[in-house]
Amino acid sequence: ILCRSVFNDKNKFVAIEGIVRDVTERKQSEDALRKSEETLARITGAISDIIYSVNGTTGEFEYLSPAFEKTLGYTQADIHSLGGRWPFLLSVIDGDDPGERDPVTNDMRRRSLTTIPVWERWWKCKDGTRRFIEDYSVPIYDGDRLVRVDGVLRDITDRRLAEEEVEKERILLR
């Protein structure tokens, strides 16, 4: 409601003029969005896989599901304290340099990437343990511009350890 007082030429109050705008549809949309966000938060909070989103321009995490901290022990503050996403990844991913994914990111930016390779690496957890993590990501475009990369990190440590045991037994049987 927008309103104003109206006075006559003798500065005597004579009326109130106003404009009333029906905001019912906007309020319903806001409520629907809030409910949708609450539902998404409940779902992602219950999933053991880590769901993430990376800004296509800055390369920084825009979203990390609660499973990130549950699985690896790190918070967004930990990532920021190490200087951002790339310095963080360089400090926690064992073995090959995660920077090797830069060509993949560049291909995503050029829209020349038709499939996203699944990437598996050992990650150092905050408590010093290690988890074998599978990374599957999907580029999101607006026209030719890479907007973000959404993905899932899955802890496949148990599977990896079982595969290593099978390989050890196979070697012993030779």
Lowest pLDDT segment from 62-66, 102-106, 119-123: 102-106
Mean local confidence (pLDDT), 15-42 = 89
Query: What's the pLDDT score for residue 169?
Result: 86
| Cα 73 to Cα 61: distance, rounded to the nearest angstrom | 16
pLDDT at 111 over 60: no
In this predicted structure, the answer to whether residue 88 has a pLDDT above a threshold of 80 is yes
What's the rounded Cα separation, in Å, for the pair 146 and 109? 5
Higher pLDDT residue, 3 or 105?
3
pLDDT given for residue 11 in this prediction:
93
> Which pLDDT score, from 0 to 100, does residue 95 have?
66
Indicate whether 165 pLDDT > 60. yes
pLDDT of residue 103: 47
Let me know: does 64 contact 50? Beta carbons within 8 Å.
yes
Q: What DSSP assignment string belongs to the chain? A: -EEEEEE-TTS-EEEEEEE----HHHHHHHHHHHHHHHHHHHHHHH-SSEEEEEETTT--EEEE-HHHHHHH---HHHHHHTTSHHHHHHHHB-SS-GGGGHHHHHHHHTT---SPPPEEEEEE-TTS-EEEEEEEEEEEEETTEEEEEEEEEEE-HHHHHHHHHHHHHHHHH-
Provide the whole-model pTM.
0.71
- What the block records as the tokens of 136 is 């599957």
